[in-house]
Structure 1
């Protein structure tokens, strides 16, 4: 069976049933964006409850008018809407949307639930369109919404869906889009920074420096680095931002090197240097610090999942550098399963679609979607490893720490298998 042991389940309990094999022959849910299914009368009304602050139950609705394709008439149908930018102007975004939908379909097969109907809609990557299709899927009976992808679309959809107490499992990496019924299934850089800083401090390094491109992602990483270092009793001794088009930012590298040398000369044994970049730029920046006189033995390069990049693994200066990412074993299992089913590799976000769908199906098993379920303290284990949602809609993940080696990354510290007692 596919993904035995990595299906979404509450961490404290076993799966309620095993996944159905891909080749089980169970009816394929209707996942084609067009044409829309022919409306039919559903004979058995059912009203799930979705508590939100200030209210305890989802308003009573007439489910008899909801979309039900002919082959599902007579079943207690649960509907999962999928809002993604299928017609976005960017081919890479369209590819991600397609990969997400493919993984969502795959989860449907693995869970073997023939009472779930998918309602895919195209947001085109536009917030106004996202709001429009959110209204459509609510009218069609959506119990849970998977998506959208972009922050503005998430906000627009959540503002509509919260009126009907329908939760969103969205894919934006922008934490400001969380909350108000939107729960982000993403890989936020803040989680990766927290994990690798934890690892560094546990290994005796509590002084940090930063050098990275001047962009939104890099700024988020630098802010997170300062916060995470400070709350563990460490400090960031300096930060430099370089022009993202500059593959050899010598002035910025010299400036941060001077600060590092000053601290090392004051008795600090080692400094961890965060560089949230990849490819040619990372290979150009990292060697500049030793070039400007910082002893490589007293540097610990650290990074984010951007370093999951074969282009950098053979850079000698980066040997033994550390970065945080999802569990490599979980990643390999998902990639192998996806490739076996579709004959191609998944996109970088596909696994999020799988976990979101498996989670939505698990929530709908009893016909009830509650905030308590979504924010379960013990969390869940999916194809991306351990995760749980905070009450503000952001996600907390159990991540591994990897070491850069010429032959490929090796595991330094395994991903957590359960969460610590405290919640951030």
Structure 2
């Protein structure tokens, strides 16, 4: 599930939670399978286009806050659609798969031509299955690629996208012999697999991998193995799947103490090391690399959202803005098949709250990400986010 992290747990007591390796990846850790293909219903581009927004309203307090952010962002995006009219219809799912399926079916019965949301992987899969026969596509806010395919797309940042961006940069800067350190749970395994695919795709070298059980002792036991593997293989980079809510605070202490330091072995993170902000203060991550959305675009979106609604948006709110931006861009072409699968997966992509992105035929996505490091507890960009597909960074 999505969590809003306010503080970093103390290293010696923080390993009580399952890994949430990326923003929404652990919402549905099991592979749920793909659903049937969909071409997309015909629309009248000269009339308001009915769009269903499925949000977790009716669930917990955090779900309700999330729902408000997603709806606000969608309405903010609608204001930008010059000449395009969107009839936004909002449905609550309470964060439940069964409710999401019912809401999706009702939305299609009400005339929705595309569904934006829901958030959680299991709910998104259920919504996609419920409307597969109607030909309506689902642009979910999940980043769980195990549910992507057929009529279900994931808008959330994916392991593969992040890993490929970072390995590509590492290869070009000479940090091309990489050890992977990952949790032994499903999130860690999916992260490891994505990193290994990126290493192969970019011509880097996999120097080995070390897993660890999600416990204090499990992490402690894995550190000497990492040190030994780096020494024996001559690796010059260590790619970590851990984040601040799991093993990263502990690893940031143990690895340097064991002699594995950024000065000789480049640390690379699969997750955002600037979220929450307290992560920037960890001594062991100074000099580490991570990827993040285009900072300029993200800041502009946050400023506009704050001006409109009086509070800073949750990071995930940008995905709702992205979905409306993509829909509006396609409808603006005034074609009846604007929301078909082929249209949604156009190679040119779209520009959203965090920069450029595009949907891929397998239901996943590709986003233009910046590469950053941490110096003196501050984020410093090493390479800007690409502004077009096919440019440096892809």
For normalisation by structure 2, the TM-score amounts to 0.82
Encode CA deviations 1:178-204: one digit per residue, 9 max, x unaligned: 121122111112211111111111111
Q: Tell me the CA shift for residue 76 of structure 1.
A: 2.8
Q: How many residues align?
A: 353
The aligned residue for residue 51 of structure 2 is 80
Report the CA distance shift for 1:138/1:252 in structure 2 as closer, same or farther (over 3 A): same
Q: Tell me the CA shift for residue 87 of structure 1.
A: 1.4
Among 304, 316, 325, the alignment partner of 2:283 is 316
The aligned residue for residue 278 of structure 1 is 244
Output the CA distance in 1 between the equivalents of 2:306 and 2:73. 11
Contact kept, 8 Å, 1:104 with 1:353, in 2: the verdict is yes
Report the CA distance shift for 1:311/1:244 in structure 2 as closer, same or farther (over 3 A): farther
The aligned residue for residue 259 of structure 1 is 229
Output the CA distance in 1 between the equivalents of 2:296 and 2:388. 17
Q: Tell me the CA shift for residue 235 of structure 1.
A: 2.9
Q: Please give the secondary structure, in 2, of the residue aligned with 1:142.
A: coil
Q: Tell me the CA shift for residue 162 of structure 1.
A: 2.6
Asked whether 1:362 is paired with 2:362, we answer no
Give the structure with higher Rg (CA).
1
Encode CA deviations 1:306-359: one digit per residue, 9 max, x unaligned: 312322223333222110111111111111111111111101200000111122
Q: Tell me the CA shift for residue 247 of structure 1.
A: 8.5
Gaps of 5+ in 2: 1-35
Output the CA distance in 2 between the equivalents of 1:420 and 1:173. 23
Asked whether 1:164 is paired with 2:130, we answer no
RMSD: 2.7
Contact kept, 8 Å, 1:248 with 1:281, in 2: the verdict is no
Report the CA distance shift for 1:132/1:416 in structure 2 as closer, same or farther (over 3 A): same
Encode CA deviations 1:141-167: one digit per residue, 9 max, x unaligned: 111111111222222221232322211
**Residue pairs, 1:20-419, within 5 angstroms:** 58=41, 76-88=47-59, 90-111=60-81, 115-246=85-216, 249-264=219-234, 270-278=236-244, 281-294=247-260, 296-309=262-275, 310-365=277-332, 366=334, 368=336, 369-419=339-389
Q: Please give the secondary structure, in 2, of the residue aligned with 1:111.
A: coil
Output the CA distance in 1 between the equivalents of 2:261 and 2:346. 46
Output the CA distance in 2 between the equivalents of 1:170 and 1:413. 29
Report the CA distance shift for 1:286/1:119 in structure 2 as closer, same or farther (over 3 A): same
Output the CA distance in 2 between the equivalents of 1:138 and 1:176. 24
Contact kept, 8 Å, 2:371 with 2:382, in 1: the verdict is yes
Report the CA distance shift for 1:56/1:336 in structure 2 as closer, same or farther (over 3 A): closer
Report the CA distance shift for 1:204/1:104 in structure 2 as closer, same or farther (over 3 A): same
Output the CA distance in 1 between the equivalents of 2:311 and 2:42. 43
